[in-house]
């Protein structure tokens, strides 16, 4: 620590005195390049459905996807993340709809790639929870999640997404060993340039509720996800998770949820020189959105929180606010 002087010679307020000076000494700046926009998908035609507990967020049918993707491209947001709402009659024990080459995610990837080419990246979740009748991310047998059997399906799900044109494969399932197996299978099938963003540090959290409504898994979910998602009391375990995923071939890693886990973002950034992303999850979005709507906090809170992610060391943030704040960042 270098302090060159003391009060009254030294007055830290001097640098803060005017707007131009504050801009001059600013250490972290949020830009649209730091944002990833999640998009929810729904089957059918001409649909734009609202979602319980996620104000001002919608599910789009593929033929209306342009409405939101146009905005993202216009705003120069680098990437969208796709999440399907799967109809109940397509869900089963094994989540087999995840491997259907005509499923919603496949259609959406093809649509976006065809229309927008490489002007925006596409990232897809790899996990079974939108497709299983029990709402878990993996296969369930007598109340237990089967790790290795699940990984076998995730490998296929990833390959399918890559074949459709997905740029960034994002396993969010938290099974052990899946990054290495997915990388091996992608390479074997000549998808050497498809990136892997591992949700390496994903905590079992109460902040995912609105998302589970959005993908239709909330009412189905039996029990909790604590045998695969991390215990929120742990810090060192996050380092082990990231170290393993890097060894297995992850190109980027994610910390999730966001705001309560900024210390983890910082820890990962300091321990590994790899791009670290953070996910400001659905519960965080809805809390802030409702707080603003009720006049409890003001609108600037959105950028304040997102700048906090940057300050903590995140390279980018997945946020439902992406399109809504892009104009303010220009």
Measure the CA–CA gap between 65 and 123, rounded to whole angstroms.
15
The active-site residue, picked from 202, 225, 310, 324, is 202
CA dist 110 to 38, 105, 106, 168, 288, Å?
17, 9, 6, 14, 33
> Which residue stretch of 20-28, 125-133, 154-162, 182-190 sits at the interface with ligand PBG (rule: CB under 6 A)?
125-133
The residue within the footprint of ligand PBG, chosen from 97, 125, 167, 181 (CB under 6 A), is: 125
Nearer to ligand PBG, 116 or 279 (CB): 279
168's enclosing H/E stretch is strand 168-171
The residue within the footprint of ligand PBG, chosen from 120, 123, 124, 127 (CB under 6 A), is: 127
Measure the CA–CA gap between 250 and 177, rounded to whole angstroms.
11
Measure the CA–CA gap between 251 and 256, rounded to whole angstroms.
17
Q: Least distance from C-beta 132 to ligand PBG, angstroms?
A: 11
Q: What residue number has its CB nearest to ligand PBG?
A: 211
Q: Least distance from C-beta 130 to ligand PBG, angstroms?
A: 7
> Which residue stretch of 84-92, 122-130, 152-160, 267-275 sits at the interface with ligand PBG (rule: CB under 6 A)?
122-130
Q: One symbol per residue from 182 to 221: x for binding ligand PBG (CB under 6 A), - otherwise; what is it?
A: --------------------------x--xx---------
Decide if residue 97 touches ligand PBG (CB under 6 A).
no
Helix (H/G/I), strand (E/B), else coil: 180: helix
Q: Least distance from C-beta 262 to ligand PBG, angstroms?
A: 17
User: How many other CB atoms are found less than 10 A from the CB of residue 66?
Assistant: 15
Our answer to whether residue 48 is catalytic in this structure is: no
Measure the CA–CA gap between 209 and 270, rounded to whole angstroms.
31
| CA angle (173 as vertex; 264, 149 as ends), nearest 5 | 140
Nearer to ligand PBG, 258 or 308 (CB): 258
Q: Least distance from C-beta 118 to ligand PBG, angstroms?
A: 25
Decide if residue 167 touches ligand PBG (CB under 6 A).
no
Nearer to ligand PBG, 34 or 137 (CB): 137
Burial (CB < 10 A; 0-12, 13-18, 19+), residue 210, is: buried
CA dist 188 to 50, 176, 185, 203, 218, Å?
41, 21, 5, 31, 36
Decide if residue 129 touches ligand PBG (CB under 6 A).
yes
Measure the CA–CA gap between 151 and 273, rounded to whole angstroms.
27
The active-site residue, picked from 107, 256, 310, 324, is 256
Decide if residue 105 touches ligand PBG (CB under 6 A).
no
Q: Least distance from C-beta 146 to ligand PBG, angstroms?
A: 16
- In this structure, are strands 35-42 and 54-60 parallel, antiparallel, or unpaired? parallel
**Which residues in 280-299 contact ligand PBG (CB under 6 A)?**
281-282
Size of the site for ligand PBG (CB under 6 A): 12
Q: One symbol per residue from 298 to 327: x for binding ligand PBG (CB under 6 A), - otherwise; what is it?
A: ------------------------------
Of residues 52, 129, 115, 23, the one with CA closest to residue 84: 129
Our answer to whether residue 256 is catalytic in this structure is: yes
* 304 Cβ contact partners less than 8 Å away, ≥ 6 residues apart: none
Q: Which residues of the chain form contacts with ligand PBG (CB under 6 A)?
A: 125, 127, 129, 137, 172-173, 208, 211-212, 225, 281-282
Where in the sequence numbering do the catalytic residues fall? 202, 256
């Amino acid at each position: 620590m270098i302090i060159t002087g003391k009060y009254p010679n030294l007055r830290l307020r001097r640098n803060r005195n005017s707007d131009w000076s504050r801009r001059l000494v600013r250490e972290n700046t949020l830009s649209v390049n730091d944002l990833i926009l999640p998009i929810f998908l729904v089957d059918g035609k001409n649909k734009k459905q609202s979602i319980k507990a996620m104000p001002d967020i919608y599910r789009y049918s593929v033929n209306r996807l342009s409405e939101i993707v146009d905005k993202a491209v216009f705003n120069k947001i680098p990437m969208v993340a796709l999440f399907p709402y799967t109809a109940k009659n397509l869900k089963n024990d094994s989540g087999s709809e995840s491997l259907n080459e005509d499923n919603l995610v496949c259609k959406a990837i093809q649509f976006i790639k065809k229309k927008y080419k490489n002007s925006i990246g596409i990232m897809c979740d790899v996990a079974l929870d939108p497709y299983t009748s029990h709402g878990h991310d993996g296969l369930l047998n007598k109340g237990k999640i089967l790790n290795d059997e699940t990984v076998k399906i995730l490998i296929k799900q990833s390959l399918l997404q890559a074949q459709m044109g997905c740029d960034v494969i994002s396993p969010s399932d938290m099974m052990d060993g899946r990054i290495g197996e997915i990388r091996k299978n992608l390479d074997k099938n000549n998808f050497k340039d498809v990136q892997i963003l591992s949700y390496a540090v994903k905590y079992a959290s109460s902040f995912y509720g609105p998302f589970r409504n959005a993908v239709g898994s909330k009412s189905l979910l039996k029990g909790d996800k604590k045998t695969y998602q991390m215990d929120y009391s742990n810090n060192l375990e996050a380092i082990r998770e990231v170290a393993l995923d890097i060894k297995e071939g992850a190109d980027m890693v994610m910390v999730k949820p966001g705001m309560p886990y900024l210390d983890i973002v910082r820890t990962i950034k300091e321990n590994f020189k790899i791009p670290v992303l953070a996910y400001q999850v659905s519960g965080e979005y809805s809390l802030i959105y409702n707080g603003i709507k009720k006049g409890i906090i003001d609108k600037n809170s959105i950028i304040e929180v997102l700048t906090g992610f940057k300050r903590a060391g995140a390279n980018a943030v997945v946020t439902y606010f992406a399109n809504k704040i892009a104009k303010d960042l220009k």
